[in-house]
Structure 1
Amino acid sequence: MTENNVTPARLSVEFLPELPGDEWGVPDGYEWIARLAGSGWYAVGLWGTEGWNLGRWPYQIVAHIDRPALEVYGLATYTEGDVTVTVFGSREERDAETNEVAVAWWITNENGPEGLTPDMSPIPRAYSGPYRD
């Protein structure tokens, strides 16, 4: 199942390459990650300043795509075979939504930083943004 959440009217998943699938539906998580290669999409394994696991592979996976020439940035979440794609007009908007996904999954999976709460707003800078080693 794919759901499209589009913010400004000019943004659409039509500006993004398709995510992996096959005639039987969405492949399992590790195969889905492998099939991202060459599509422009890439799996995001670590998030925040300390590089906490983002999701619980192969059951929960985040993928991003950057199309700056079109001002289109995509976020895909894979949750046990269900894929949701959201389109944003900036990397900052996309990363802010990824922050929200990360905190929700860290709380659910109990595998992220300590002291997180579901109503945390704004999300502290230490828990935000792509991990840079």
Structure 2
Amino acid sequence: MVGTTTKDTEETVGALVLPVDDRTGDGYDWLDNLTGSPWKVMGAWGIDGWDAESWPYVFFATAIHRNEIGTLYGYGTYVEGDTYAHWYRAEDACHRAITAEVFWYWKHGQADGPSNLPASAEELTEQYTKPYGCIHR
């Protein structure tokens, strides 16, 4: 557990640590660090399961943590060896953040996304803003 601030409510909470990269391999090696942890790799986003990232350089992972106040929704990224974790009190806020980051990869040709992308992530229709089996229930 590590102290962090939720992105949507700005609460200081104890949250799960995203396993770090051991810096001896690539992203596939980092995936091994998720084994046995609450973090689950997220390979696709949107109802139709569009690519969410650019393997083996960029990976997304998701986790849920319950504390004394309630549920926290997290997503983490591995980007060429660097790891980042983001926590939210509201699941919808977490989904919006994931959508914004995935949209960037789609828009810049870094991941195989839909061909009919609007100018911004906020303009995406609902079918592109929902998890494809990534947030655990």
- Specify the TM-score bucket, using the shorter chain as the normaliser: 0.7 to 0.9
- Alignment correspondent of 1:122: 123
TM-score (norm 1): 0.80
Matched, 1:88 2:79: no
The alignment-based identity, stated in percent, is 26
* Runs of 5+ unmatched residues, structure 1: none
Q: 2:52 maps to which residue?
A: 54
Q: Structure 1's 18 and 76: CA in aligned 2 closer, same or farther, altered over 3 A?
A: closer
1:10 matched to 2:7 = no
Q: Deviations over 1:38-75 (max 9, x none)?
A: 11001100111111111011111111111145421111
Moved over 4 A (4+): none
> Normalising by the residue count of structure 2, what TM-score does the alignment of the two structures yield?
0.78
Gaps of 5+ in 2: none
Contact kept? 2:57, 2:79, Cα under 8 Å:
yes
Aligned length: 126
Q: Within the alignment, does 1:65 sit opposite 2:63 as a pair?
A: yes
What is the alpha-carbon root mean square deviation over aligned residues?
Answer: 2.2
Tell me the alpha carbon deviations over residues 79-117 of structure 1, each in whole angstroms, 9 at most, x when there is no partner.
111212111112221111111111111112252101214
